[in-house]
Structure 1
Amino acid sequence: MQKRMVKMRNYKIRAHHGLCLAFFKGEGYSSDFVNNMKEVIEKLSEDPIITITTSLDDICISCPNSKDGICESIDKVNRYDNLVLKQCGLECGETMLWSEFQNKVFTKIIAAGKMDTICRDCEWSYICFES
Structure 2
Amino acid sequence: MTIRLRAHHLLCLLTYVGKGYSPAFTVNYDAIAERLSRGEDILLVSGPDDICAPLLDGADPHCRNENVVERDRLAACDVGDLLALPIQPGVRLDLDAAILARMRQAFSVGGVRKACGGCEWSELCGAIAVGGFAETKVQRSVLQD
* 1:30 alignment partner in structure 2: 22
**Compared CA separation, residues 93 and 102, structure 1 to 2 (3 A):** farther
Is 1:96 the counterpart of 2:93 in the alignment? Answer: yes
In the TM superposition, residue 87 of structure 1 has moved relative to its aligned partner by 1.2
- Quick one: distance in 2 between partners of 1:87 and 1:117? 8
2:118 corresponds to which residue?
Answer: 121
- The Cα shift of 1:92 comes to 2.2
C-alpha separation in 2, matches of 1:77 and 1:48 = 25
Per residue, is there more strand in 1 or in 2?
Answer: 1
Deviation at 1:123, TM superposition (A): 0.9
Matches within 5 A, 1:66-85: 66-67=56-57, 71-73=61-63, 74-85=65-76
Give the Å deviation of 1:112.
4.8
> Which residue does the alignment assign to 1:55?
47
Q: CA deviation at 1:113?
A: 1.6
Counterpart contact for 1:18–1:102, Cα < 8 Å: no
Aligned pairs, how many?
Answer: 119
Aligned to 1:86: 77
Residue 94 of structure 1 aligns with an amino acid whose one-letter code is V
Correspondence for 2:8: 16
Aligned residue in 2 for 1:4: none
Which sections of structure 2, spanning at least 5 residues, go unmatched?
81-86, 129-145
User: What percent identity do the matched residue pairs reach?
Assistant: 28
Q: Which of the pair has the greater relative contact order for Cα pairs under 8 Å at 6+ separation? A: 2
Distance 1:29 1:56 in 2: 15
Q: TM-score with structure 2 length normalisation?
A: 0.70
CA contact (8 A) 2:5 2:51 kept: yes
1:105 CA drift (Å):
3.5
Report the secondary structure of 2:49's partner residue: coil
Q: CA deviation at 1:114?
A: 2.9
Q: Deviation per CA, 1:101-129, whole angstroms, max 9, x where unpaired? A: 6356435x415523442212001111111
Give the alignment's TM-score, normalised by structure 1.
0.77
